[in-house]
């Protein structure tokens, strides 16, 4: 293993630089390098090398009569009238200045024609160069063609400057091949490019990424040759550019080579004379171009060689030279060498410019050195320079990515003081930062202020909308989308529609997304493939399969080919809805369209059939997946195990589970839970326990695992064991969502531990976990097991199932009262017992019961009076609650009044009401009256052998967690007073489905 070192000691005037490049393990015919070192001996005093920038602007920098001429030309339209005073008085140089200072190409032509019309005018190639450049910059190719022909007719011989300028303007217009045709023309006219023209050609090739061709052209030029074959100049196609009647290509490939043919032979240069000498660059600009070319090509060794040759040849480097070298070193990982170059720069008194510090700003940021990056930013002003748009864009990007709000706003304030606009490319980064940290007002204000300053491009608005869309902020995204446009003729780009549709989809506003899609064409914008893919995937994932399929068909009719994820979304949507025939149909459409299904598609189909218990169909697609070379992953095997568990195929499930044990990562928790269910269904208690214990040991057991085992033991009548599992689950901190709470509630309710049920319900509310249908099902069981009045339980259950207002809050209040958690019961009452709210009888009854049970009889009776004031007649539940209140308060007269109403037939006799009266008398220490009512109850009710509190059939069985009507109305305690109110559900956690899936 060897390494080579290339070393130069370059003496330039009075400074000496030693440049060493180490190339470790060189290989033949390669340009690669692995090491780069730069050394500088800077102990010698260096003369000042200044960059001389002359600023010539209208009205300044010119002497004599030029300022007044330019001012009159600027204010008057008639050229002849303006210029008549200076006929015969202007030198060729002054004429050149006048031509250069005109505002537009038409004005230049008029002034030039006036000059030519004068008798004393002498044709000057410099004047023609000025006009040609202006026409080229304005992309007036037909006018340029006519002017070129006129130039040839006038016998003006194009100079190297002419050709170099034409190459430059054509290339900047994007006509690279046409630009290089001028070099072909030069060769045919025996004009050898000078260094300026050569540099222009190399720069053109560099800018379009043709690094090898640029390098080859330069090296051939140094050898006195102009090789054009490698530039592919003879393969120009006939594509029209829409220039009528001649295109630039027509002109260059036909008339160009005819025009100028009348040039006197004496004027033509001898190609032999030109190619006889070997030449080297003498211009700083040429070396700058070469260094930049090699750097962008990743050839740092060649860039270093060019830099060394530049110094060796006595060509003074300028700021651009050092900037290129610094950038090349820094971007290739040699930051220390880049820093050393900056030191050399300062020592040789080639002063850094703003771009120099911009480069370091970005280099440090890429390395994560934010302090150094910001130091470079501050250095710009410290050395007397001003940040430019690139500076602000770079520093804002760095600060925004790191959410450094204070620093960002400091930069924005600095930009404002500089009386310049915020670069619109920085807007999305700043707004995204504000959105991510929740400062929406600042984001909106920034956008509105910047919009007032000037029109924002569609691309920038798209990025801003996307920032809002990612956070689901559709209203903010919509405000940007429907912004007032500066021009009514300006239409929105399709990308804006796409991200707005994305924003609606994130917020599940599918109707708005569809409406926007349908309005696209009427607004002059046609949907593209991305629009259709986004819309179909959005609807498919939302299980809106019918519109998804319609748009999928429309997409194909429009000539677009849907991607695999698009078909997959529709198939998944169908399988989640159990529409397996539709899923299969979309799958067949997919294969017919030539789109290869992936593992997600097969996994969705297999899982869908597994959920439906259709094992044969699931296996069919499993085998189809294997036939196309897609290996089954854990998800697919889990789906098959789930399918076997649905139909009780234990042996087949065990084989697949054994296969998963040999896979990397082993079985997932869903597969293990499915196996526990299978063992439980087959009564194999030992295997179920063994697997569950292993999951706990490995830390894999989740809420579903515990819920399965609790249900398993409960169904076997082993309630104590089920309670033990419940307690383990709580201790393991697995009560994280509604489903896990429901599982534990079910076990406690089945075991009659209603106090624990109340505590768990209180925990749910405190942690802002919304109770669902299963939770309320358990609550009703708690009420029945808690000796609550049967009529009251029936009334609240009926109200809940009918979805009546505040039924859920009332039910929670009832439960807390029954289990003795009176403070929470009264707190629940506050959610609906407000003067401005009208209530049904059931709600008043619950409130009377809650206040009565808590011993606050006066409040309970006040609620009863309010009920009467609102015109609501007391029902049986009302009387039962009132009797209970009277008994606890010792108001015997109240008890007697209701009892007499029963005996006189004013209130319908009820065994529960009689029992309530008996208990009330006992609470009031009137056992004699209690005995009297007991005898009367037996005579009136005549119900021998009936237990007044008998439970409904099936209470001891498994609880039914099926959805009940009105489930979409969650408990809303957001109106409860107090910031620390545990009943505040204003930010509920999203419930998790704990079914095995």
Q: What is the pLDDT of residue 63?
A: 60
- If pLDDT is split at 50, 70 and 90, which confidence band does 231 have? low
CB 861 within 8 A of CB 885: yes
Percentage of residues in the chain having pLDDT higher than 90: 18
How far CA 972 is from CA of 769, 807, 819, 828, 987, in Å, comes to 11, 11, 22, 10, 10
Which helix (H) or strand (E) covers residue 643, if one does? helix 634-647
Q: Tell me: the pLDDT tens digits for 904-937?
A: 888 888 888 888 889 888 988 898 888 888 888 8
Residue 889 CB partners (closer than 8 Å, separation 6+):
857
Q: Give the separation between CA 860 and CA 595, rounded to whole angstroms.
A: 70
Q: Average the pLDDT over 708-737 and give the result.
A: 82
Mean of pLDDT values over 334-339? 90
Report, as an integer, the average pLDDT of 978-983.
40
Determine how many CB atoms are found less than 10 A away from the CB of residue 662.
Answer: 7
Tens-place pLDDT, residues 303-322? 999 999 888 888 999 999 99
**Within 10 A of 698 (CB to CB), how many other CB atoms are there?**
11
Rounded-to-integer distance, Cα 675 and Cα 433, Å = 47
Crossing angle of helices 458-470 and 474-481, rounded to 10°: 170
Give the ranges where 890-979 is alpha helix by DSSP (H). Answer: 892-903, 911-923, 927-941
Check whether 291 has a pLDDT greater than 90: yes
Q: What are phi and psi of 443, to 5 degrees?
A: -65, -45
User: How far apart are alpha carbons 694 and 696 in whole angstroms?
Assistant: 5
Q: With the CA atoms of 764, 767, 769 and 774 taken in that order, what torsion angle do they form, in degrees rounded to the nearest 10?
A: -10
pLDDT class of 256 with cuts at 50, 70, 90: low
Of the listed ranges 248-252, 651-655, 795-799, 855-859, the one predicted with least confidence: 248-252
Helix (H) or strand (E) holding 21, with range, is strand 15-24
Please report the pLDDT score of residue 971 as a whole number: 37
The three-class DSSP label of residue 50 is: coil
Alpha helices in 437-493 (DSSP H): 440-453, 458-470, 474-481
Q: Range with the lowest mean pLDDT among 489-503, 537-551, 944-958?
A: 944-958
Residue 249 is predicted with a pLDDT of 52
Token pair 């606009």 is found at 421
pLDDT at res. 546 = 92
The three-point CA angle 364-368-371 to 5° equals 65
Q: Give every CB contact of residue 929 below 8 A, 6+ residues apart in sequence.
A: 892, 895, 896, 921
**Which pLDDT tens digit goes with each residue over 140-152?**
888 888 888 888 8
Class of domain 65-228+281-310: mainly alpha
Over the stretch 402-419, which tens digit does the pLDDT of each residue have?
899 999 999 998 888 887
Domain edges within the chain: 65-228+281-310, 719-779, 787-940
Q: Please report the pLDDT score of residue 254 as a whole number.
A: 54
Cα–Cα distance for residue pair 96/73, rounded to 1 Å: 14
A 10 A CB-CB count for 951 gives 12
pLDDT above 60 for 824: yes
- pLDDT (average), residues 807-824: 89
**Dist CA 38 CA 339 (whole Å):** 10
712 vs 707: CA distance, rounded Å = 8
Residues 6+ apart with CB under 8 A from 702: 669, 673, 734
CB 609 within 8 A of CB 621: yes
The CA angle 315-319-321, to the nearest 5 degrees, is 55
856 CB-near residues (< 8 Å, 6+ apart): 826
State mean pLDDT over 647-663. Answer: 84
pLDDT at 789 over 70: yes
Bridge partners, 12 (sequence order): 15
Rounded to whole angstroms, how far apart are CA atoms 683 and 104?
93
Give the neighbor-by-neighbor strand order of the sheet with 3-12.
3-12, 15-24, 37-41
Q: Rounded to an integer, what distance in angstroms lies between the CA atom of residue 447 and that of residue 470? A: 18
Averaged pLDDT for residues 450-479: 88
- Tell me what the mean pLDDT of segment 190-197 comes to: 86
Tell me if 717 sits within 8 A of 701, measured CB to CB: no
Query: In what helix (H) or strand (E) does residue 291 lie, and over which residues does it extend?
Result: helix 284-296
Predicted local confidence at residue 589, as pLDDT: 92
Model-level pTM greater than 0.75? no
pLDDT in tens, 10-63: 343 434 444 444 443 433 333 333 344 444 433 333 333 444 333 344 444 566
Whether the predicted pLDDT of 525 surpasses 80 = yes
> Which contiguous run of DSSP H or E holds residue 416?
helix 405-417
Mean pLDDT for the chain overall = 79
Identify the CATH number of the domain defined by range 787-940.
1.25.40.10
Identify the residue whose tokens are 């819309």: 535
Phi, psi (5° rounding) for residue 993? -80, 120
Does the pLDDT of residue 978 top 70, yes or no? no
Please state which of the ranges 113-117, 132-136, 318-322, 475-479 shows the lowest mean pLDDT. Answer: 113-117
CA distances (Å), origin 367, targets 295, 329, 697, 780, 849: 19, 14, 43, 62, 69
Q: What's the pLDDT score for residue 957?
A: 39
Find the mean pLDDT for residues 822-826: 89
Q: What is the pLDDT of residue 64?
A: 66
Per-residue confidence (pLDDT) for residue 535, from 0 to 100 = 92
pLDDT at 949 over 80: no
CA nearest to 545, candidates 524, 566, 521: 566
Question: For 154-168, 613-627, 973-987, which range has the lowest pLDDT when averaged over its residues?
Answer: 973-987
Q: How confident is the model at residue 85 (pLDDT cuts 50, 70, 90)?
A: low
**Range scoring the smallest mean pLDDT among 241-245, 275-279, 680-684:** 241-245
Q: Are 128 and 95 in contact (CB under 8 A)?
A: no
Percentage of residues in the chain having pLDDT higher than 70: 81
Q: Residue 244 — very low, low, confident or very high, per pLDDT cuts 50/70/90? A: very low
CB 853 within 8 A of CB 817: yes
Q: Confidence class of residue 87 from pLDDT cuts 50, 70 and 90?
A: low
User: Cα 54 vs. chain centroid, distance in angstroms?
Assistant: 47
Alpha helices, H only, 838-925: 841-853, 857-869, 876-889, 892-903, 911-923
Tokens of 699: 């830390």
Say how far apart CA 202 and CA 328 lie, in whole Å.
18
Kindly tell me if the per-residue pLDDT of 582 is higher than 80.
yes
What pLDDT is attached to residue 13?
41
Tell me the pairing of strands 37-41 and 3-12.
unpaired
The pLDDT of 469-489, averaged and rounded, is: 78
What is the token pair recorded at 119? 């008798």
At residue 260 the predicted structure's pLDDT band, cuts being 50, 70 and 90, is: very low
Separation CA 354–CA 385 (nearest Å): 6
Average pLDDT over residues 353-369: 91
Residue 430 has pLDDT above 90, yes or no: yes
| Cα 330 from Cα 601, distance rounded (Å) | 46
Banded pLDDT at 959 (limits 50, 70, 90): very low
Q: What pLDDT is attached to residue 435?
A: 94
Give the pLDDT of residue 899.
86
CA distance 161 to 200: 10
Q: Where is mean pLDDT largest: 145-149, 237-241, 465-469, 834-838?
A: 465-469
Q: What is the distance between the alpha carbons of residues 189 and 271, in angstroms, rounded to a whole number? A: 9
DSSP-based three-state secondary structure for 5: strand
**CA 997/CA 993 separation, integer angstroms:** 9
Which pLDDT score, from 0 to 100, does residue 499 have?
A: 92
Measured CA to CA, the distance from residue 169 to residue 192 in angstroms comes to 20
Q: Count the neighbouring beta carbons within 10 Å of the beta carbon of residue 472.
A: 15
Q: Which residue has the tokens 């896990």?
A: 740
pLDDT at position 122 over 50: yes
Tokens of 872: 């609501």
Is residue 821's pLDDT more than 50?
A: yes
Torsional sign, CA 922, 923, 929, 932: negative
**Each residue of 92-120: pLDDT tens digit?**
888 888 888 887 888 888 888 888 888 77
């Amino acid at each position: 293993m060897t390494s080579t070192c290339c070393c130069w000691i370059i003496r330039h005037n009075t400074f000496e630089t030693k440049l060493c490049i180490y190339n470790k393990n060189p290989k033949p015919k390669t340009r690669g390098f692995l090491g780069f070192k730069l050394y500088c001996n800077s102990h010698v005093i260096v003369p000042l090398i200044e960059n001389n920038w002359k600023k010539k602007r209208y009205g300044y920098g010119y002497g004599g009569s030029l300022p007044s001429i330019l001012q009159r030309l600027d204010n008057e339209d008639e050229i002849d009238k303006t210029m008549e005073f200076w006929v015969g008085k202007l030198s060729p140089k002054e004429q050149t200045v006048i031509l250069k200072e005109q505002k537009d190409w038409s004005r230049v032509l008029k002034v030039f024609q006036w000059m030519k019309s004068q008798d004393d005018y002498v044709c000057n190639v410099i004047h023609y160069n000025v006009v040609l450049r202006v026409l080229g910059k304005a992309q007036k190719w037909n006018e340029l063609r006519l002017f070129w022909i006129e130039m040839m007719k006038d016998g003006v011989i194009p100079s190297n400057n002419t050709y170099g300028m034409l190459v430059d303007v054509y290339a900047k217009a994007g006509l690279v091949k046409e630009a290089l045709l001028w070099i072909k023309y030069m060769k045919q006219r025996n004009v050898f490019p000078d260094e300026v023209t050569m540099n222009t050609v190399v720069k053109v090739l560099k800018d379009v990424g043709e690094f090898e061709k640029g390098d080859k052209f330069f090296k051939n030029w140094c050898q006195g040759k102009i090789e054009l074959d490698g530039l592919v100049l003879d393969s120009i196609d006939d594509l029209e550019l829409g220039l009528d009647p001649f295109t630039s290509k027509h002109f260059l490939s036909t008339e160009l080579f005819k025009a100028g043919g009348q040039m006197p032979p004496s004027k033509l240069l001898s190609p032999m004379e030109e190619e006889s000498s070997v030449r080297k660059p003498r211009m700083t600009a040429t070396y700058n171009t070469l260094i930049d070319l090699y750097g962008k090509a990743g050839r740092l060794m060649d860039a270093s060689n060019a830099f060394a040759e530049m110094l060796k040849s006595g060509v003074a480097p300028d700021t651009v030279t050092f900037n290129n070298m610094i950038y090349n070193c820094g971007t290739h990982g040699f930051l220390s060498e880049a820093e050393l170059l900056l030191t050399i720069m300062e020592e040789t008194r080639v002063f850094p410019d703003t771009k120099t510090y911009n480069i370091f700003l970005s280099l440090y940021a890429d390395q994560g050195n934010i302090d150094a990056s910001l130091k470079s930013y501050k250095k710009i002003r410290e050395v007397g320079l001003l940040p430019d748009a690139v500076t602000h864009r770079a520093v804002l990007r760095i600060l925004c990515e790191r959410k450094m709000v204070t620093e960002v706003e400091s930069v924005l304030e600095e930009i404002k003081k500089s009386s310049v606009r915020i670069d619109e490319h920085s807007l999305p980064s700043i707004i995204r930062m504000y959105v991510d940290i929740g400062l929406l007002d600042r984001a909106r204000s920034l956008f509105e202020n910047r919009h007032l300053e000037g029109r924002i491009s569609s691309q920038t608005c798209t990025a801003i909308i996307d920032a809002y869309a990612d956070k689901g902020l559709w209203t903010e995204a919509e405000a940007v989308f429907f912004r007032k446009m500066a021009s009514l003729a300006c239409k929105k780009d399709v990308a804006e529609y796409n991200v707005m549709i994305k924003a609606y989809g994130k917020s599940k506003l599918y109707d708005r997304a569809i409406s926007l899609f349908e309005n696209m064409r009427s607004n002059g914008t046609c949907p593209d493939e991305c629009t259709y893919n986004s819309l179909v995937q959005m609807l498919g994932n939302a299980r809106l399969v019918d519109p998804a399929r319609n748009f999928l068909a429309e997409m194909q009719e429009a000539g677009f080919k849907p991607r695999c994820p698009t078909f997959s979304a529709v198939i998944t949507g169908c399988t989640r809805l159990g529409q397996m025939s539709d899923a299969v149909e979309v799958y067949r459409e997919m294969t017919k369209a030539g789109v290869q299904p992936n593992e997600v598609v097969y996994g969705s189909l297999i899982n869908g059939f597994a959920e439906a218990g259709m094992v044969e169909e699931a296996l069919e697609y499993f085998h189809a997946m294997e036939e196309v070379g897609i290996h089954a992953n854990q998800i697919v095997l889990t789906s098959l195990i789930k399918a076997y568990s649905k139909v009780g195929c234990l042996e087949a499930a065990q084989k697949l589970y054994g296969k998963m044990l040999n896979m990397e990562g082993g079985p997932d928790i869903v597969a293990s839970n499915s196996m526990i269910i299978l063992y439980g269904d087959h009564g194999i208690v030992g295997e179920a326990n063994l697997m569950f214990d292993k999951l706990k040991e490995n830390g894999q057991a989740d809420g579903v695992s515990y819920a399965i085992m609790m249900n398993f033991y409960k169904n076997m009548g082993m309630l104590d064991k089920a309670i033990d599992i419940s307690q383990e689950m709580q201790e393991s901190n697995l009560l994280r969502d509604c489903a896990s709470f429901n599982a534990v509630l079910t076990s406690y309710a089945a075991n009659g531990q209603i106090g624990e049920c109340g505590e768990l319900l209180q925990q749910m509310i405190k942690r802002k976990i919304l109770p669902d249908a299963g939770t309320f099902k358990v609550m009703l069981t708690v009420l029945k097991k808690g000796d609550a009045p049967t009529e009251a339980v029936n009334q609240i259950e009926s109200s809940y199932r009918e979805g009546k207002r505040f039924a859920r809050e009332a039910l929670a209040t009832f439960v807390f009262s029954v289990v003795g958690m009176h403070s929470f019961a009264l707190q629940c009452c506050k959610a609906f017992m407000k003067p401005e709210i009208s209530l049904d009888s059931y709600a008043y009854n619950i409130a009377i019961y809650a206040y009565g049970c808590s011993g606050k009889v006066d409040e309970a009776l006040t609620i009863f009076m309010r009920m009467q004031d609102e015109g609501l007649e007391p029902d049986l539940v009302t009387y039962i609650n009132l009797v209970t209140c009277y008994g606890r308060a010792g108001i015997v007269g109240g008890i007697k009044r209701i009892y007499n109403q029963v005996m006189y037939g004013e209130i319908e006799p009820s065994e529960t009401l009689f029992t309530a009266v008996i208990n009330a008398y006992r609470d009031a220490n009137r056992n004699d009256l209690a005995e009297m009512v007991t005898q009367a109850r037996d005579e009136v009710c005549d119900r021998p052998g009936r237990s007044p509190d008998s439970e409904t059939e099936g209470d001891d069985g498994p609880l039914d967690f099926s959805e009940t009507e009105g489930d979409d109305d969650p408990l809303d305690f957001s109106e409860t007073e107090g910031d620390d109110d545990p009943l505040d559900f204003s930010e509920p956690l999203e419930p998790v489905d704990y079914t095995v899936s």
